Amino acid sequence: MLQNIYKLFISSFILLTAGYFVYFKNYNYPQKPFWDENYHIASAYKYLNNIFFLEPHPPLGKLLIALGEKILHPNDKVNTEYFLKTDYIKKFPKNFKFDGVRFIPALAGWFNVVLFFLILYFLTDKIFFSFLGSFLYLFDNALIVHSRAAMLESIQIFFILISILIFVYMYKKNKLTYFNYILLGILISLAVMVKLNSLIIILLYIPLIYKEFLNKNSISQIILKLITSVISFLIIVLLIFKIHFLLTKNIVDNRIYHLNKNEISLFKDNKLNLMKEIKIYFRYIKIYEKGVPKYNPCKKNENGSLVLTWPLMDKTINYRWHKINEKTQYLYLIGNPIVWLCGLVAVILSLAMVISRFVYSLPVKKEKFEYIFIFTVLYVSYMIAVLQIERVMYLYHYFIPLIFSLILFNLQIEYIFEDEINNKDLYFWSGYVLLILLVIFCWWWFSPFTYYEYMNMTEFNQRNWFEFWHLKGIY
């Protein structure tokens, strides 16, 4: 037991050290905004200055971005008054520093590496195997880019990974307590309060209910535990919305976000109750989403992509660029192709296994198959859900199922090669280490897109492997 704790500590320390250089070091570079930073920084500054606003995402992510700015406060002497009068910052002051607004997302992205490792360990009970498997998360270029920005994805993934970790711990237990359910409800709520597409992990309750029935718990006990979890979920939702409205008391430039006259009057007199405020917030989300355009492949410079092509990394997005002479810096949303390929292979294998099990009664290793089944259902359910959305979607909306697919990859490798892993087979471990080295090489090869480094057109074209990636060089 003590030896395992020691190995876990050493593995986590190594991953944290590597994660620092991959995710956190120089996270403030470039000192220029890209993609949704223009929106989220505007929101964060409204929190810091008690300015009323509504936004299409729940509040928690922007609150934490604002917290990072509050902690480091690198812009105390910068004139940011303009930020309070817009939802999209078109031009940042020359001396504006991004250290504060990117701090919490970068910190979350850094810690996510260890959380992913711990999930793999909880699932497989194999420390070294899980350690190597976590390199798939550690060295994915797309996850790195979004983690080093004042954006929501790394914070969302942080709470999703903790929720999955607690779920696996609960699923392995023979007796689940009310505290277990309360904790899971809180964590899922935190993820949902960053981005609403986190709701997919509510499906984790289904296998827990199944496990409760297997353990011969009464229906009344199960219902009570679920009720306590739902209550804890709702308390966090109410608390976060309460914080949002407490920090946004002042209306500036008549920016009323579709409030009617009666609501404005009640708001100014501080007479709106919390439930009414939440209703107003979700009404605004609904109005906002109606204004988001649909995916249009004929549109010039369309950055959106089709849901079913996401696993192939279609299509990448050029977030920003800067050309000097014959060389150009690029900040591109492009993943590690080996990592994404591993995820795609795992999904195909998992679907084949699940179908074979239920259609052709394929014999399986029960406990290991259960986890494969759970994460396959999560993956498929997410993809089906987003297929119902009419608005344009982007490649980073694939991050959640990508994580499911990487978990499935490790589960499939352990399932197929369990004897080789346990017997320390030289051929298996040599092959697996070579795969991880290939992952690291591809991360390095595509790192100029990740860390905004200069390339000439020859170097750019060497990395333009597939037409459906839609990489476009600046001539």
The mean per-residue pLDDT over the stretch 78-105 comes to: 93
Using N-to-C axis directions, what is the helix angle for 60-72 and 153-172, rounded to 10°?
A: 110
Please, are residues 131 and 11 in contact by the beta-carbon 8 Å criterion?
yes
- DSSP symbol at 100: T
- For position 261, what pLDDT does the model report? 85
Q: Is 26 left (phi over 0), alpha (psi -120 to 50) or beta?
A: left
Residue 273's pLDDT is 87
| Percentage of residues in the chain having pLDDT higher than 70 | 100
Winning range, highest mean pLDDT, from 108-112, 273-277, 323-327, 463-467: 108-112
Residue 50 clears pLDDT 80, i.e. is over it: yes
Find the Cα–Cα–Cα–Cα dihedral 331, 105, 279, 399, rounded to 10°.
60
Measured CA to CA in angstroms, residue 221 lies from 180, 182, 227, 297 at distances of 14, 14, 10, 52
Taking residues 17-27, report their average pLDDT: 95
Q: Do 153 and 146 touch, CB atoms closer than 8 A?
A: yes
Question: Which of 4-8, 50-54, 141-145, 398-402 is the least confident region?
Answer: 4-8
Place 428 in a pLDDT band, splitting at 50, 70 and 90: very high
Q: What is the mean pLDDT of residues 176-194?
A: 95
Angle of helix 103-124 relative to helix 60-72, nearest 10 degrees, comes to 120
CA max distance for the chain: 73
Half-sphere exposure of 112 (CA within 13 A, CB side): 32
Q: Residues 198-202: what's their mean pLDDT?
A: 95
Helical packing angle, 60-72 and 219-246, nearest 10°: 50
| Residue 182, pLDDT score | 95
pLDDT, position 259:
83
CA atoms of 213 and 386, how far apart (whole Å) = 31
Q: What is the mean pLDDT of residues 447-471?
A: 92
**pLDDT greater than 90 at residue 319:** yes
**Range 166-183 average pLDDT:** 91
- Single-letter residue type at 3: Q
Mean pLDDT, residues 294-321 taken together? 87
Residue range 83-101: average pLDDT?
93
Per-residue confidence at 444, pLDDT binned at 50, 70, 90?
A: very high
pLDDT average, residue stretch 318-329: 91
Nearest by Cα to 375 from 338, 346, 413, 414: 346
- The arithmetic mean of pLDDT across residues 197-223, rounded, is 90
Res. 475: pLDDT tops 90 = no
User: Does residue 436 have a pLDDT over 90?
Assistant: yes
pLDDT of the residue at 212: 87
Residue 258: per-residue pLDDT: 85
Beta bridge partners of 328: 323, 455
- Predicted local distance difference test score (pLDDT) of residue 150: 95
pLDDT at residue number 155: 97
Q: Is 272 a residue whose pLDDT tops 90?
A: no
- With 80 as the cut, is the pLDDT of residue 114 above it? yes
Which of the 8 DSSP states describes residue 299? Answer: S
| Element holding 406 (H helix, E strand) | helix 399-416
Mean pLDDT of 341-365: 90
Among the listed ranges 56-70, 146-160, 279-293, which one has the minimum average pLDDT value? Answer: 279-293
Q: Is the distance from CB of 103 to CB of 5 less than 8 angstroms?
A: no
Please state, in angstroms and as integers, the Cα–Cα distance from residue 187 to each residue in 38, 162, 257, following that order.
28, 7, 30
Residue 442 has pLDDT above 90, yes or no: yes
**What residues contact 387, with CB distance under 8 A and at least 6 apart?**
307, 308
At 127 the pLDDT is 93
Per-residue confidence band for 291, with pLDDT thresholds at 50, 70 and 90: confident
Q: What is the DSSP letter of 12?
A: H
pLDDT at 443: 97
Cβ atoms 156, 115 nearer than 8 A: no
- Rounded to the nearest integer, the mean pLDDT of the chain is 92
Q: Is the pLDDT score of 331 beyond 90?
A: yes
Residue with tokens 């050493």: 10
Residue 386 confidence class, pLDDT cut points 50, 70, 90? very high
Q: Which of 120-124, 200-204, 287-291 has the lowest mean pLDDT?
A: 287-291
Average pLDDT over residues 234-247: 95
Task: Check residue 23 and report its DSSP letter.
Answer: I
pLDDT recorded at residue 253: 85
Which pLDDT score, from 0 to 100, does residue 257 have?
A: 86
pLDDT attached to residue 199: 95
The token pair that represents 216 in the structure block:
């011969």
Burial class (CB in 10 A: 0-12, 13-18, 19+), 372: buried
Tokens of 433: 């280490």
Q: What percent of the chain has pLDDT over 90?
A: 72
Residue 135 has pLDDT above 90, yes or no: yes
Q: Which pLDDT band holds residue 146 (cuts at 50, 70, 90)? A: very high
Identify the band that residue 140 occupies on the pLDDT scale cut at 50, 70 and 90.
very high
> What is the helix (H) or strand (E) element at residue 280, kind and residue range?
helix 274-290
C-alpha span between 256 and 44 (Å, rounded): 18
